[in-house]
């Protein structure tokens, strides 16, 4: 399938990503026994870094690839586009629907303010029987809020808070020297 990207929308997102931003992030599984993850987000020059407590995810938003780095073991795993979808879903012509598992069951629900920023709200149906709701920042293209579940039962939430301009060193988006690539499945 050939993908056509609406150039002005892409340029707006890439230009916005050139200005550094930092934020607090949280991921909550809402299931008994699951712990909440808290961390920091760094966004600059079309790169995204999420530092969670046990690991760090680093992505190149243009290439839609990255790494999951664990400091304790000095190892990393390659990450692909599907691993980035929570943080910054892929979009074509300003819509994430062409990249949904069931594009015909994806819809733009409208616009809402999230953390004092305008966001597009999306309802994406997953063929496993649940909805994924995304609120994507209109200027930055990153997810400000995501809820997985249905209207009565949230299973997982991801949220960005306190998004603010800041200084972010380019070295934060580089793979640390001396780390070994791990080929197996990542487990927290």
pLDDT in tens, 116-136: 999 999 999 989 888 999 999
% of the chain surpassing 90 pLDDT: 67
Q: Which residues make Cβ contacts (< 8 Å) with residue 157, sequence separation at least 6?
A: 26, 27, 28, 30, 145, 146, 147, 148
Q: Tell me: pLDDT of 186 over 70.
A: no
Name the CA dihedral angle for 123, 106, 29, 119, rounded to a multiple of 10 degrees. -50
Look at strands 75-79 and 180-181 and give their pairing.
parallel
- Tell me the domain boundaries of the chain: 7-181
pLDDT in tens, 27-60: 998 777 788 899 999 999 999 999 998 899 999 9
The C-alpha atoms of residue 104 and residue 102 are separated, in whole angstroms, by 6
**Are 104 and 149 in contact, with CB atoms under 8 Å apart?**
no
Average pLDDT score over residue span 1-28: 59
Global confidence as pTM: 0.84
CATH class belonging to 7-181:
mainly beta
In sequence order, the β-bridge partners of residue 78 are: 67
Residue-wise burial string across 161-181, b where 16 or more C-beta atoms lie within 10 A, e elsewhere? eebeeeebeeeebeeeeeeee
pLDDT in tens, 135-147: 999 999 999 999 9
């Amino acid at each position: 399938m050939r993908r056509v990207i609406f150039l002005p929308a892409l340029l707006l997102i890439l230009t916005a990503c050139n200005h550094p931003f930092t934020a607090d992030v949280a991921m909550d599984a809402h299931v008994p026994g699951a712990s909440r993850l808290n961390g920091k987000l760094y966004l600059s020059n079309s790169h995204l870094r999420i530092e969670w407590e046990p690991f760090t995810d680093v992505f190149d938003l243009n290439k839609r690839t990255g790494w999951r780095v664990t400091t304790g073991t000095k190892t990393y795993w390659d990450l692909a586009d599907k691993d980035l979808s929570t943080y910054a879903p892929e979009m074509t012509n300003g819509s994430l629907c062409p990249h949904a598992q069931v594009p015909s069951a994806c819809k733009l629900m409208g616009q809402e303010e999230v953390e004092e920023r305008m966001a597009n709200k999306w309802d994406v149906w997953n063929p496993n029987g649940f909805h994924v709701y995304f609120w994507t920042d209109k200027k930055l293209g990153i997810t400000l809020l995501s809820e997985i579940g249905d209207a009565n039962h949230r299973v997982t939430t991801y949220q960005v808070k306190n998004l603010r301009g800041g200084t972010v060193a380019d070295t934060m988006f580089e793979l640390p020297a001396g780390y070994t690539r791990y080929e197996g499945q990542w487990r927290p």
